[in-house]
Structure 1
Amino acid sequence: MTVMRGATGYGRGAGAYARVGVESGVMSANPHQLIVLLFDGALASIRAARIQMQAGNIAEKGRSISKALDVVNNGLAAALDAERGGEVAERLASLYDYVARLLLSANLHNDEKSLDEAEALLEEIATAWREIGGQTPDG
């Protein structure tokens, strides 16, 4: 039997605990809350990428940016309903495409300003989305 000790054991345990918390949150979330979770995930990945970029850890920076891109492209953009959302959905789709291009540029050129801009744009939309959630019956 192997016993994990020190920071390594704690880190693995904390990571497993966080995954359970996230999975539980996703399972109990309504559609509006799921979008909030997507924004939170993208923003957390961008912040992690910035830390890794500043530390010179290129591989981890790339992984974090890839996670953010995945959330933006396969989560936020994919959740848009062009039929019901009309012009708002079209504008969000364009904005998500721009954010994805910023993230790609940040990764390719180690450009922290592109990360900052992507984070600011997503944070602005996320804030508005959270405010809308307080006004809906199931939010």
Structure 2
Amino acid sequence: MKINPDFRSFNKEIKRSGDFSIQQAQEKSFSDLLGQQEEKSNQEQLQKMLNQVQEQGERLLRTMSIRELRAYKRLIQQFLEETARRGVGIKDTMGMDRRGRGKKYKLLNEIDGHLLQMADDLLVQEQGRVELLHHIGEIKGLLINFFY
């Protein structure tokens, strides 16, 4: 019987495929990569919204018009709603009261402290403008009460 000199052992190829599977396990899965990209996109969007609020605040200080005031209030409201929606989650839990009866509780979980900190920083930076909005809102309410 003659042995074929071109015959190769598949042993090396098996080792390579084994190394490849280890490499795949070490790499991040597609869902992890997708989650990271989504988080990055969300952060960029929130940063863009924060910049819009600050720019609108500067315009409001320069012009002091009703149109700029409305736009500023709308941007602040959108930013705070978005950060609250992404930064806090509601969880329903069951518990017992003092008498042993079942009771349903809603717990707020802080999902992303960074988002909530960003919202707090915005409120601190824009404190003077927010107070101005409060006073303007009070005056508007008084005028509406006066006319009706």
Q: Flag whether TM exceeds 0.5 (same fold).
A: no
Structure 1 length-normalised TM: 0.40
Higher relative contact order (CA 8 A, sep 6+): 1
Task: Indicate the structure (1 or 2) with the bigger Cα radius of gyration.
Answer: 2
Name the one with the larger strand percent.
Answer: 2
